Amino acid sequence: MIIDVTKNFIKLILQLISNVLYCFVKTYRLFISPLFPKCCRFEPSCSQFALDSLKKHNLFKALYLISKRILKCHPFGSSGYDPVPD
């Protein structure tokens, strides 16, 4: 019983962190992103990729995918269509 309560509590905390990150990215897209020209080399943009990852995957996998995507963004990196994997 204690183990179930602990697992549920941990899931709740991870979901809360995921929701907070989602809100941060959403706020960035609404208020900061419009101030700069569109220059993302990927489709969907990195911020949309982050939102999609946070919706589709658990927190750890989403953070891994987001980090991997951001690390690809350099002059010698790839570009083009790069959706969130299943």
Quick: pLDDT tens for 63-83: 999 999 999 988 888 889 999
Q: Is residue 86 part of a domain?
A: no
How many folded domains does the chain comprise?
1
Q: First and final CA of the chain: distance in angstroms?
A: 33
What confidence score (pLDDT) does residue 77 get?
83
Q: H-helix or E-strand containing 23?
A: helix 2-27
10 within a domain of the structure (yes/no)? yes
Q: Is the pTM of this model over 0.85?
A: yes
- Does some domain include residue 8? yes
Q: What is the pLDDT of residues 15-55, one digit of tens each?
A: 999 999 999 999 999 999 999 998 888 999 999 999 999 99
- Could you tell me the residue range of the domain that residue 42 belongs to? 2-81
**Closest C-alpha to 26, from 1, 2, 51, 46:** 51
Tell me if 47 is assigned to some domain.
Answer: yes
Give the residue among 73, 71, 33, 28 at the shortest CA–CA distance from 51.
28
Q: Give the span between the Cα atoms of 34 and 43, in whole angstroms.
A: 17
